[in-house]
Amino acid sequence: MAMRASEWQKLPVSLTELCINTSLRCGQSFRWRKSAEDEWSCALHGRILSFRQDPEHLHYRATFPSSSIPTPPPSNEPSAAPSVASDDDDTLALVKHYFNLGANLGRLYEQWAAADPNFKKRAPKFAGVRMLRQDPWEALIGFICSSNNNISRISGMVANLCLHYGPLIGHIDDVPYHDFPTPEALADPKVEAHLMKLGFGYRAKYIYKTAVMVAEKEDGLGWLDGLCNPELPAFGKDTGDAGELVEGGREGYRNAHQELLALHGVGPKVADCVCLMGLGWSESVPVDTHVWQIAQRDYKFGRGKHSSLTAATYTAVANHFRKLWGKEAGWAHSVLFTADLKAFSERLVAKTEVKEETTIVKEELDAGVAQVSKIKTTAKTRVKRAPADEGHVMVKAEEEITSRSKRRKTRRV
């Protein structure tokens, strides 16, 4: 397919305000792919969006299918505004919106650290973990896929959804990039069995039924978009306190959460993920297995009344964090969540030997070498085989050399 890439643009953004290498990989969106060294790409809103970053700038570029570029004006008309410029204006707004760039993340980190010693202790190695403002429908389906699942496999499933049901936007190095499928595309009766065959398990039925429910709404996706927080993040102006918050969050948040619970495969946790990452409700705090472990380890939950993660405990944990961190509690939660991920655990270890081993294994992967490592004879890191069904997108595994953190034995979710 003929493509047309706009030039690289840049925005002044520090790594404290945004670290794409963390924010695009920490389980908010499951769709970003490494398209080159230190470059991340994804099909969004009819274009392929690519990002790079240096310590002072976010670099971005949009690549459009040539057919979607407005046809140049006839030669007898004055060519006033180049089409690329208008595309870039659109893309700039998209980038700012997607990264919530109106918010001052550095100041928020300071406020969370001042209010919470545990945040102060854990956050320094995880600067720039910024809440994304994703498409609500994509977030909904992505997090329905997330139940009893891991980020690597979720990413593969979402890639399969896009590959089989989403529009092809273009290629980078012969790798196809598809946009996220519409509700109508997933509401076809054949979808459930097909997704089952693709390895979605019991989530196949959830996705199909939810797609039907949304597609049958009076105004379709308008219903979902109508649950969005109407105000955009702009914390930069006033007193600077993170914002006091009524217990349980604003009414718009509570309403959106309740509405989402009517969908198949959407419980309290998935609904909170959609509220936080798709609908812009910053006080939403999804309490998943990681957050529940954090609450037990660092915030004295897991005993007495709240010894197991019941519905009441879920609310108590979320309310505790809202009271502690304030209006953007969900943003703060995302920082601690990321710090708890295995994929980022190398930052928590003394980086001497481990660092070297990681580098060596990584180089072998990059070179496509299938030989047994001379360093680690039992290296488990291996290029994942492509499943039988053609077209399954491989998701490169994180090198996980370091040992995992100890888990509580008595955990029950």
Partner DNA sequence: CGGCTGCCTTGGAG
Partner DNA sequence: ACTCCAAGGCAGC
The answer to whether residue 61 forms part of the interface with DNA (CB under 7 A) is no
Q: Which span (99-107, 119-127, 219-227, 271-279) binds DNA, by CB under 7 A?
A: 271-279
**Minimum gap (Å) between residue 126 Cβ and DNA:** 13
The answer to whether residue 358 forms part of the interface with DNA (CB under 7 A) is no
**Minimum gap (Å) between residue 202 Cβ and DNA:** 4
Give strand pairing partners of 47: 44
Torsion of CA 17, 21, 22, 28, to 10 degrees: 100
* Among residues 86, 255, 308, 359, the one that binds DNA under rule CB under 7 A: 308
Q: Tell me which H or E stretch contains 95.
A: helix 83-98
Category of 201 on φ-ψ map: left (φ > 0), alpha (ψ -120 to 50) or beta: left
What is the phi/psi pair of residue 44, to 5°? -140, 130
b/e per residue 232-259 (b: at least 16 CB within 10 A):
ebebeeeeeebbebeeebbebbbebbeb
What is the gyration radius of the CA atoms in the chain, in angstroms? 22
The answer to whether residue 320 forms part of the interface with DNA (CB under 7 A) is no
What one-character DSSP code corresponds to residue 137? H
Among positions 147-166, residues that touch DNA (CB under 7 A) are 147-153
Is 63 or 146 the residue whose CB approaches DNA more closely? Answer: 146
State the catalytic residue, choosing from 120, 209, 269, 396: 269
Q: Which span (114-122, 166-174, 263-271, 360-368) binds DNA, by CB under 7 A?
A: 263-271
Q: Tell me which H or E stretch contains 61.
A: strand 57-65
Please confirm, yes or no, whether 269 is among the known catalytic residues: yes
Q: Which span (79-87, 283-291, 344-352, 359-367) binds DNA, by CB under 7 A?
A: 283-291
Q: Which span (93-101, 165-173, 257-265, 320-328) binds DNA, by CB under 7 A?
A: 257-265
Length of the chain in residues, anyone? 413
Binding mask 366-395 for DNA (x = CB under 7 A): --------------xx--x--x--------
- Alpha-carbon span 249 to 236, nearest angstrom: 21
Are the C-beta atoms of 135 and 166 separated by less than 8 Å? no
The answer to whether residue 310 forms part of the interface with DNA (CB under 7 A) is yes
Catalytic residue ranges: 269
Question: Where does this chain bind DNA (CB under 7 A)?
Answer: 26-28, 143, 146-153, 196, 199-203, 205-206, 261, 263-271, 273, 277, 286, 288-291, 307-308, 310-312, 333-334, 337, 341-342, 380-381, 384, 387, 397, 400, 403-404, 407, 409, 411-413
